[in-house]
């Protein structure tokens, strides 16, 4: 199996299939992250496609100071942030459920447990949608993608100390939003 550097070299030499292998290698992981960042499967797909096109067009500018996925994620995150700034934010638990579809189901669990997990997942998604883009991205990278502080710092081009403090504030914001979302659900 070729590494990213070899595939990049081949893609820059005109081999479109090499770039296709890079896409295949990273598209699912990036898509899953984007769903959590933008809060919609359709928007995540659109941002993913835009990011892949932009990465292909700008591949010659990739300086290899970071990993290819890190560079691709940064492109996608910037596109997602731009798109979110242009949209009017409206989120409810029902909208989050509709936009994300059904959550994966553990077949061994009781039906009531599955329903509770789905409701909790929708509440978390609704809470995530209400916090700032910068905090949402850090939470997704750390808690969902399980990235290290150093990787997050590289992706977002911020010092590790800033990542740590923003992650703390992001967790506090999410906790507050979850209180509001759960309270709205009860009333």
3-state secondary structure of 108: coil
The string of pLDDT tens digits covering residues 6-21 is 999 999 999 989 999 9
The residue ranking higher by pLDDT, 112 or 170, is 170
Please name each of the domains of the chain with its CATH number: 1-87 (1.10.1740.10), 89-187 (1.10.10.10)
What distance in Å separates the CA atoms of residue 27 and residue 13, rounded to the nearest whole number?
A: 22
Angle at 181 between CA 176 and CA 183, to 5 degrees: 95
Angstrom distance (rounded) from CA 57 to CA 74:
15
pLDDT of residue 112: 64
Compute the distance between CA of residue 145 and CA of residue 143 in angstroms, rounded to an integer. Answer: 6
Stated pTM of the model: 0.65
């Amino acid at each position: 199996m070729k590494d990213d550097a070899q595939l990049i070299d081949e893609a820059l030499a005109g081999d479109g299939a090499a770039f296709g292998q890079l896409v295949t290698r990273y598209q699912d992981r990036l898509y899953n992250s984007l769903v959590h960042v933008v809060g919609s499967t359709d928007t995540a797909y659109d941002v993913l496609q835009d990011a892949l096109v932009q990465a292909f067009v700008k591949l010659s500018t990739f300086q290899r100071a970071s990993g290819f996925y890190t560079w691709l994620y940064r492109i996608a995150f910037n596109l997602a942030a731009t798109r979110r700034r242009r949209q009017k934010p409206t989120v409810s638990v029902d909208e989050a459920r509709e936009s994300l579809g059904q959550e994966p189901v553990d077949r061994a669990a009781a039906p009531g447990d599955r329903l509770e997990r789905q409701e909790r997942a929708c509440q978390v998604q609704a809470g995530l949608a209400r916090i700032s883009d910068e905090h949402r991205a850090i939470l997704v990278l750390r808690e969902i993608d399980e990235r290290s502080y150093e990787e997050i710092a590289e992706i977002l081009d911020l010092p590790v100390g800033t990542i740590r403090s923003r992650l703390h504030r992001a967790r506090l914001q999410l906790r507050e939003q979850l209180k509001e979302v759960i309270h709205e659900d009860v009333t």
